[in-house]
């Protein structure tokens, strides 16, 4: 490390063992057996019918029919190291995590029971985890994240990718750490996710500007990762300005045909798309809005909010919107792939993975989070009813 003068690394208290200076603290990797508490054999579909996840002829090759998704209760460090010991290394295609953000209040869960809002006290396990994570301030938090990110790297498939959801509290520290673990050359994006469209008047009265975004770091494990292209619809204003013409086929714009083969010219003419003008030496062709894919997605994500009264809201304080996870899962996995979330919370990642025909593995330290997620997954009625464009 020291010989490479361009090397940059984040240091925190006790990252390196003091006695053998220069040797990183060893990461314990226990192998604990998993105890099966419950097996739900088939998704529960309205009416009690057991419908397979995909039509018989459309089962993706990589989705074994005897596969069972896994929801595991336990500290993710133990869960991940046990998964690795049990042969899961290199098998997970996509990991999304939304870990605690160093806000100091991450293990008190506020939720709703019927119409009543309740606050659940942390259990003994949660309290202990809380102490381990935060007792040394930011240094112990960084150690906690470092150990877990190393395990995640081992679990990822060579063509896999990881999204780590954070905010201004620790995001910048974790970015440097991820460069070390995954390689700066494997960094793909820092996604800015706008949390809400309305920050409210009270928040905007704070000194400086209101904080209204989280940061999601997206890394590939290796160059072999191939994300799917995602497009969003053009906005009204863009359409008004750029697609000013309309005929019976729809809105279009005129593009100049400066270089073309005779074949292209004939084809456009045949399709009635060619427009010749006496004032121009080149012909034009009609480019229809319907033929265009939309705007290629960039790294500022707006419009993916968890509405106050949306039916997906289960009053889990840190719940993320399904639309956000849908975008991530569609961009970085394919049907049948294995998607994992090791900080499952209310189960948003797993619910979306299930709806999109991905296999999934999830875990959480909090029994309450596991119960909420279990219920949410069992409540996905007719999740096989995918939209055509989701496949």
Ligand X SMILES: C[S@@+](CC[C@H](N)C(=O)[O-])C[C@H]1O[C@@H](n2cnc3c(N)ncnc32)[C@H](O)[C@@H]1O
CA distance 162 to 219: 5
Name the minimum Å distance from CB 209 to ligand X: 23
111 binds ligand X (CB under 6 A): no
What torsion do the CA atoms of 105, 108, 140, 214 make, to the nearest 10 degrees?
Answer: -50
**From 70, 71, 76, 251, residue interacting with ligand X (rule: CB under 6 A):** 76
129 binds ligand X (CB under 6 A): yes
CA distance 134 to 124: 15
CA neighbor of 98 nearest in space, from 162, 142, 145, 164 = 164
369 binds ligand X (CB under 6 A): yes
Give whichever of 152 and 369 is closer to ligand X, judged by the CB atom: 369
User: 36: Cβ–Cβ under 8 A, 6 or more apart, which residues?
Assistant: none
100 binds ligand X (CB under 6 A): yes
Per the CB < 8 A criterion, the answer to whether 30 and 81 are in contact is yes
Give whichever of 193 and 316 is closer to ligand X, judged by the CB atom: 316
Please name the residue ranges forming H helices in 213-337: 236-242, 262-270, 322-332
Q: With CB under 6 A, what is the number of residues at the site for ligand X?
A: 19
CA distance 187 to 370: 31
CA neighbor of 27 nearest in space, from 84, 109, 95 = 84
Name the minimum Å distance from CB 208 to ligand X: 24
Name the minimum Å distance from CB 75 to ligand X: 4
**From 72, 94, 95, 98, residue interacting with ligand X (rule: CB under 6 A):** 98
352 binds ligand X (CB under 6 A): no
CB atoms within 10 A of CB 138: 14
User: Taking contact as CB under 6 A, which single stretch among the options 33-41, 245-253, 358-366, 383-391 is the one that binds ligand X?
Assistant: 358-366
**From 343, 350, 361, 377, residue interacting with ligand X (rule: CB under 6 A):** 343
Give whichever of 289 and 350 is closer to ligand X, judged by the CB atom: 350
Name the minimum Å distance from CB 248 to ligand X: 46
355 binds ligand X (CB under 6 A): no
CA neighbor of 312 nearest in space, from 362, 347, 273, 275 = 347
**Crossing angle (nearest 10°) for helices 171-182 and 137-155:** 40
User: Taking contact as CB under 6 A, which single stretch among the options 39-47, 238-246, 363-371, 380-388 is the one that binds ligand X?
Assistant: 363-371
Name the minimum Å distance from CB 380 to ligand X: 15
333 binds ligand X (CB under 6 A): no
73 binds ligand X (CB under 6 A): no
75 binds ligand X (CB under 6 A): yes
CA distance 109 to 122: 8
User: 305: Cβ–Cβ under 8 A, 6 or more apart, which residues?
Assistant: 194, 195, 196, 197, 321, 323
User: Taking contact as CB under 6 A, which single stretch among the options 34-42, 172-180, 294-302, 360-368 is the one that binds ligand X?
Assistant: 360-368
Name the minimum Å distance from CB 94 to ligand X: 14
User: Taking contact as CB under 6 A, which single stretch among the options 32-40, 191-199, 249-257, 362-370 is the one that binds ligand X?
Assistant: 362-370
Give whichever of 268 and 356 is closer to ligand X, judged by the CB atom: 356
User: Taking contact as CB under 6 A, which single stretch among the options 19-27, 55-63, 211-219, 357-365 is the one that binds ligand X?
Assistant: 357-365
CB atoms within 10 A of CB 98: 23
The strand pair at 250-256 and 359-364 is best described as: unpaired
User: Taking contact as CB under 6 A, which single stretch among the options 7-15, 22-30, 199-207, 339-347 is the one that binds ligand X?
Assistant: 339-347
Q: Which of residues 303-332 bind ligand X (CB under 6 A)?
A: 316, 318-320
Give whichever of 76 and 215 is closer to ligand X, judged by the CB atom: 76
Please name the residue ranges forming H helices in the chain: 76-83, 124-134, 137-155, 171-182, 200-204, 236-242, 262-270, 322-332, 348-355, 367-378
User: 86: Cβ–Cβ under 8 A, 6 or more apart, which residues?
Assistant: 31
In angstroms, what CA-CA distances link 290 with 242, 246, 251, 253, 386? Answer: 13, 12, 8, 11, 23
Residue nearest to ligand X (CB): 345
CA neighbor of 155 nearest in space, from 94, 100, 216, 99 = 94
Name the minimum Å distance from CB 39 to ligand X: 22
Name the site residues for ligand X (rule: CB under 6 A). Answer: 75-76, 98-100, 129, 316, 318-320, 343, 345-346, 348, 363-366, 369
């Amino acid at each position: 490390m020291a010989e490479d003068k361009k090397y940059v690394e984040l240091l925190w208290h006790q990252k390196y063992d003091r006695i053998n200076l220069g040797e990183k603290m060893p990461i314990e990797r226990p192998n604990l057996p998993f105890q099966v508490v419950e097996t739900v054999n088939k998704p529960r579909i309205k009416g009690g019918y057991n419908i397979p996840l995909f039509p018989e002829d459309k089962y993706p090759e990589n989705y074994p029919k005897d596969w069972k998704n896994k929801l595991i209760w336990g500290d993710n460090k133990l869960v991940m190291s046990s998964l690795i010991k049990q042969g899961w290394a290199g098998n997970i295609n996509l990991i999304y995590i939304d870990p605690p953000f160093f806000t100091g209040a991450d293990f008190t869960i506020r939720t709703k029971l019927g119409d009543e809002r309740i606050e659940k006290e942390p259990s003994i396990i949660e309290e202990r985890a809380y102490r381990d994570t935060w007792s040394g301030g930011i240094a112990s938090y960084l150690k906690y994240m470092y150990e877990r990110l190393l395990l995640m790297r081992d679990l990822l498939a060579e063509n896999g990718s990881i999204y780590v959801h954070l905010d201004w509290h620790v995001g910048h520290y974790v970015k440097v750490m991820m460069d070390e673990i995954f390689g700066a050359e494997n960094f793909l994006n820092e996604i800015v996710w706008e949390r809400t469209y309305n920050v409210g008047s009270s928040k905007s009265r704070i000194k400086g500007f209101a904080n209204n975004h989280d940061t999601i770091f997206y890394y590939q494990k290796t160059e072999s990762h191939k994300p799917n292209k995602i497009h969003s619809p053009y906005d009204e204003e863009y359409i008004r300005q750029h697609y000013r013409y309309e005929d019976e086929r729809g809105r279009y714009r005129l593009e100049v045909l400066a270089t073309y083969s005779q074949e292209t010219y004939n084809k456009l003419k045949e399709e009635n798309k060619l427009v010749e003008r006496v004032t121009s030496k080149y012909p034009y062709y009609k480019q229809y809005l319907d033929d265009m894919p939309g705007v290629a997605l960039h790294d500022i994500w707006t419009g993916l909010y968890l509405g106050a009264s949306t039916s997906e809201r289960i009053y889990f304080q840190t719940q993320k919107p399904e639309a956000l996870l849908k975008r991530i899962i569609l961009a970085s996995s394919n049907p049948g792939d294995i998607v994992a979330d090791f900080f499952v919370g209310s189960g948003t990642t797993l619910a979306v993975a299930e709806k999109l025909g991905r296999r999934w593995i999830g875990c959480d330290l909090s029994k309450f989070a596991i119960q909420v997620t279990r219920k949410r997954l069992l409540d996905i009625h007719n999740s096989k009813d995918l939209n055509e464009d989701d496949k």
